[in-house]
Structure 1
């Protein structure tokens, strides 16, 4: 039985049907991802399912006792509350007890009676495991300390999204509805969230453009296309394959319907006036065929093709850049000379200084020390995280004309602002609508258009994947792969980074920047190898310590004990143990001699790389064998 069901849902927006007569159900354990181009109504449908918007027709029903929680792209809060009050606003008794416990513990002036009371309350509700989960969620989302007492009205967009995400995860609802949950999260947090939402017991419906996230979390994909819903059981690669198959079958069916329609149209024109039962059935079938034949199969795709300004020999030279805010060092002695066709990904946790570095390179922010020299031919195209700013009375075409009246494409064609908007899927009718009526994804697409219209040769993209649909992302990736200028990308979309970045700037604590040769997956593998090596070194260190302690213990003189009347006689060494003892002395001498020979070869400095590797490995083996034989020799020495 469905936990959440929708029957015959329809919604009309701005004199256009987003969808009609949709039916949908969500079972326990299903993790479904909604996909579709911007403007198809994904967010509207999610809001209807969450009960925040009313459909024009149809009904949404939730099984009795089931709690549904919705996380929107732009979370809405009571601006008068603190972060702590917002997160723990649920009526859940356990959550109330945890909130009170956290409040008392974090109050340096709390009373002993208050602490005793909240501890007893936590015990009675058996809330300690839940409290540990709450702490993990808050810690991983960076909601700790002073931030908990801050008013939500003072938070940035990214912080608001994290607070909203913490609230829905802590509430542990039966059904989670998430609209673009990875927006504004750094890569490490996304990977943690990915693991948390992959639980088989979780019931989830989400809208996301993050293909790695979608593959890891979703077990079903639902596509919203031209007002219809199509379901696919599988990952993103399976969806792409089956979508292509569906479109091919649909094209074949429509072509057959058009051929039949021509034939039936001739019959309708010469049909006699007398109408029998057979004729009426054929007439009804004619109108069904007509509707099928008139299906519009044209695919709307953004066409990204702009001229790139010629780039000279000197692009950007950054030398010994330093920047700090108060005691927080954001950048420490960063230097880099940008080269033609550089494709760089900029990664690091939120607050590490990614946007600060971008603003310094583009001249919007000055470094504390160091120099930035920009080549005379360098033309920046800077796509920022900041939402498109516009006057509420402005229309779509006004936004473009502010930058340029005409645009030159890569093939030399010159287009008017209106023609260029059409390439970006803004048809003439939509170009004169108010910008306020655009969806979030359409506003981002318009913002991207404004950047490209300047014909840049150095593109800086700060979170370009936020709110863009998968189709537009694929086209953007293809455009950027063939872009002739320099590319600097900040993105939490790992698939996007893997496709485009050839090396990374990794911002590390303390302002250091690692110039890593490879894409994001290469970097993750490098980190995993480092962690494995560190663990092995730690194990080896612990083993050495244990061996040293055992050796020291064995070397201690036996304590002088008070004479005991019935002391057991000391065991003497057996014949075999005596022989082993003698052989150990010979073996240890031989090993020590070989160790000295190998050490001499290494110190001599003459030999090939392979020989040095072999000698180094042998030296390690000899050292380990000597230590093991010494321990055994000490054990036997007491008996002999």
Structure 2
């Protein structure tokens, strides 16, 4: 089924075209990604398709049976309403029934039996249980709970997840033919959420248009990529890998064509100069051809490259030390006796579920958040470059060039030369026209790019990047990665961008919860492979324990009714209760130690003696776990 046709679409702001004469089509089952530099109108294009904005010219045709659902980059959420009211904010019989049922069953208190019975009867009548299960899956996977909580008390990331949940739920309840439009859907999601969303959107019946910087997400989801480059539209049938191949071939062909045009232009220029100025019989057709060759020869094959050979402040012998650091918020433990000494040139990725304390850890390193106890010693030569999630901060609206000049008129490079603020901005892909734009008029990605520039102006030797890839376009991401790979200082990155992490970091700090931080030697994909194996192994252990318990229960003799009446239920003594509590604490600790040892053995960096010792310790842990599991079963029964 044909969903959408876009013909000769044009949109400008302040007489500057974002895009001109765009034409493309969307069919049922298409999963299309838009790729372009920030500020070239990707988000605007999505809003035009939704009817939120109006084009200057051109046509957008949408099939009358197709419903368009939009996840905006900055979604509108009502802070004065609770989560439930925001998610179920429009009138639909099934949605109303589910909302009523969830409202009654939400919380720890026992629901009113009469109201519960009425709600369940309504669910039965509307055959809404399947949809309720779908709603519960979406809310559970996006870690959305306490539905009566006011949205105004939540963080920006939590609000984005609520907006995503609403869009996915609306998509399930709207007409069968739905076009889902998503602007940066993976921002503020942890990796488990992103992997689940990949699976959810990968269904055959989902038709999708999206803008995203997550290249693994693009690779796993999309079957078509549309690039807008210098006003031209290029379509790739295939995933991100196929798009990269085709773009490389296109740029190579463009380079060859431009070289040919420049050679011809030089010959024509020489001919033009030789002609007498007063001569009127000069070939008019050849003059016209000259200007055509001049235009072709002037074509830029690639965007201006972001050159970031910055002059880095020298690193001393002492970098950064953390000794027995503890940090908690109420009952929530972030760090429990954390020890680490950073070495020169370390590249560490920080990962873990949302809310595990990653940003708190970063703020402690930067001195923004105090530890409860322990020491954080920063070397005297350390100059932090803090790329935070809060984004760009300016006191009043100024032009881009003025903002940079307020930091420095000139910027020193590694080779001893200097570049002006204007030249440096051009290397950050800010054209001369864009440099005189007010900061408030920049797109989200352009503000991120300017934020990065302002950090590098301070000549850091220890970069701390908290979700740096959010809102950056793919060309800027490629350039940033090239810079970070050459950066000689220390680097800490908090990111859910798997592609970015795989390319940049050497090892990971994995925040596993309850103050446990695992130092994993490897990149993110390697960690996820081992983590999946560990989850599978744990599930098998849990299943075996459950089977053993059920078998033991089935083997118990069934007492007679009279004996059962006389027999008193045996209660645990105080000592046995304490023993049960101790076992329940020790078993996860043993499992964590075993997982750490297995990870170190699989890293390939251990000597033979160390491997032997690790193997012996794992065998001892397995025996201990079996012993404690049996005792746990005895006490539990």
> TM-score normalised to the size of structure 2?
0.80
5 Å-filtered alignment, 1:293-332, equals: 295-332=299-336
- 3-state DSSP of counterpart to 2:8: strand
Structure 2 residue 1 is matched with structure 1 residue 9? no
In structure 2, distance between residues paired with 1:188 and 1:94: 29
- 3-state DSSP of counterpart to 2:121: helix
2:138 alignment counterpart: 137
Which of these residues, 462, 479, 487, is aligned with residue 458 of structure 1? 462
1:572 alignment counterpart: none
Which of these residues, 243, 246, 259, is aligned with residue 239 of structure 1? 243
Which of these residues, 406, 409, 412, is aligned with residue 410 of structure 2? 406
Taking a change above 3 Å as real, the CA distance of residues 310 and 273 of structure 1, as seen in their structure-2 partners, is: closer
Shift of the alpha carbon at 1:359? 0.9
1:482 alignment counterpart: 486
In structure 2, distance between residues paired with 1:264 and 1:339: 60
Taking a change above 3 Å as real, the CA distance of residues 484 and 95 of structure 1, as seen in their structure-2 partners, is: same
Structure 2 residue 100 is matched with structure 1 residue 96? no
> TM-score normalised to the size of structure 1?
0.80
1:128 alignment counterpart: 129
Structure 2 residue 473 is matched with structure 1 residue 469? yes
Taking a change above 3 Å as real, the CA distance of residues 532 and 101 of structure 1, as seen in their structure-2 partners, is: closer
1:571 alignment counterpart: none
Point out the more displaced range, 405-414 or 214-223: 405-414
2:564 alignment counterpart: none
- 3-state DSSP of counterpart to 1:3: strand
Shift of the alpha carbon at 1:118? 2.2
Task: Tell me if structure 2 keeps the 8 A contact 1:71–1:165.
Answer: yes
**Greater Cα radius of gyration, structure 1 or 2:** 1
5 Å-filtered alignment, 1:220-235, equals: 220-235=224-239
Query: Alpha-carbon deviations, 1:539-595, whole Å to 9, x = none?
Result: 655777799899999xxxxxxxxxxxxxxxxxxxxxxxxxxxxxxxxxxxxxxxxxx
Shift of the alpha carbon at 1:487? 0.6
1:189 alignment counterpart: 193
Task: Tell me if structure 1 keeps the 8 A contact 2:251–2:302.
Answer: no
- 3-state DSSP of counterpart to 1:388: coil
Shift of the alpha carbon at 1:273? 9.5
5 Å-filtered alignment, 1:536-575, equals: 536-538=540-542
Q: How many residues align?
A: 555
Taking a change above 3 Å as real, the CA distance of residues 477 and 550 of structure 1, as seen in their structure-2 partners, is: same
Taking a change above 3 Å as real, the CA distance of residues 288 and 51 of structure 1, as seen in their structure-2 partners, is: farther
Shift of the alpha carbon at 1:57? 0.5
In structure 1, distance between residues paired with 2:43 and 2:412: 35
Taking a change above 3 Å as real, the CA distance of residues 392 and 227 of structure 1, as seen in their structure-2 partners, is: farther
1:631 alignment counterpart: none
Shift of the alpha carbon at 1:2? 2.3
- 3-state DSSP of counterpart to 2:2: coil
Taking a change above 3 Å as real, the CA distance of residues 280 and 53 of structure 1, as seen in their structure-2 partners, is: farther
Taking a change above 3 Å as real, the CA distance of residues 175 and 363 of structure 1, as seen in their structure-2 partners, is: same
Query: Alpha-carbon deviations, 1:392-444, whole Å to 9, x = none?
Result: 43111232233333221122212232222222122333222211111111100
5 Å-filtered alignment, 1:210-225, equals: 210-225=214-229
Unpaired stretches in structure 1, ≥5 consecutive residues: 554-607, 621-640
1:116 alignment counterpart: 117
2:152 alignment counterpart: 153
Taking a change above 3 Å as real, the CA distance of residues 433 and 188 of structure 1, as seen in their structure-2 partners, is: same
2:448 alignment counterpart: 444
Query: Alpha-carbon deviations, 1:314-360, whole Å to 9, x = none?
Result: 11111111111222222211111111111110011111111111111
Query: Alpha-carbon deviations, 1:371-399, whole Å to 9, x = none?
Result: 11111111111100002122343111232
- 3-state DSSP of counterpart to 2:483: helix
- 3-state DSSP of counterpart to 1:366: coil
